[in-house]
Structure 1
Amino acid sequence: MKLRKNDNVIVITGKDKGKKGKIVTVLIAENKVIVEGINMMKKHQRPKKSGEKGTKIDIPMPIHASNVKKIN
């Protein structure tokens, strides 16, 4: 895989097509990358103490390396 951490990439297919971002993590065994701000998933977090409200947090999910293209 020719993609490395901190490379700037553009998404070429999928729901985030056309968006640009920086690679945060490269998963070599799975041939996937995690791009900052791309392919975000909402996770519901339970309240830790009684009386608190639960929250929703955004987590970046991996995207297949063939769906991104390196840009300069």
Structure 2
Amino acid sequence: MKIQIQKGDNVKIISGKHKGEYGKVSSVIKNKHQVIIKNINIRTKHIKPKQTEDRGYIKKIEAPIHYSNVKLIKKIK
């Protein structure tokens, strides 16, 4: 199955927690049929310190969304 959505396309989320929101595709994961949309589906990841002197921190990352949950609005050529 071929994914019609490419990097840079404008999309609308049609289902899930972020239903009705618009965004721009920042990357496509083809083998899992998922897309990462800029500033949508933000998750927090707690990073542990690697050594005793280091400090841990909290990192915000954009989690992927399955391409069937997004609708293509504007195709970038």
Q: Percent identity over the alignment?
A: 42
Q: Provide structure 1 residue ranges, at least 5 long, that are not aligned to the other structure.
A: none
Could you tell me how far 1:70 is from its partner in structure 2? 1.0
Could you tell me how far 1:54 is from its partner in structure 2? 3.1
Q: Provide structure 2 residue ranges, at least 5 long, that are not aligned to the other structure.
A: none
| Partner AA of 1:33 in structure 2 | V
Give RMSD over aligned pairs. 1.5
Deviations 1:19-50 (A, max 9, x none): 11111111111111011111111011234663
| Partner AA of 2:44 in structure 1 | K
User: Partners in 2 of 1:55 and 1:10 — Cα distance?
Assistant: 32
Query: Could you list the runs of 4 or more consecutive aligned residues of structure 1 that deviate by over 4 angstroms after TM superposition?
Result: none
Residue-pair matches, total = 71
User: Partners in 1 of 2:8 and 2:69 — Cα distance?
Assistant: 17
**2:34 match:** 32
Using structure 2 for the length normalisation, give the TM-score: 0.79
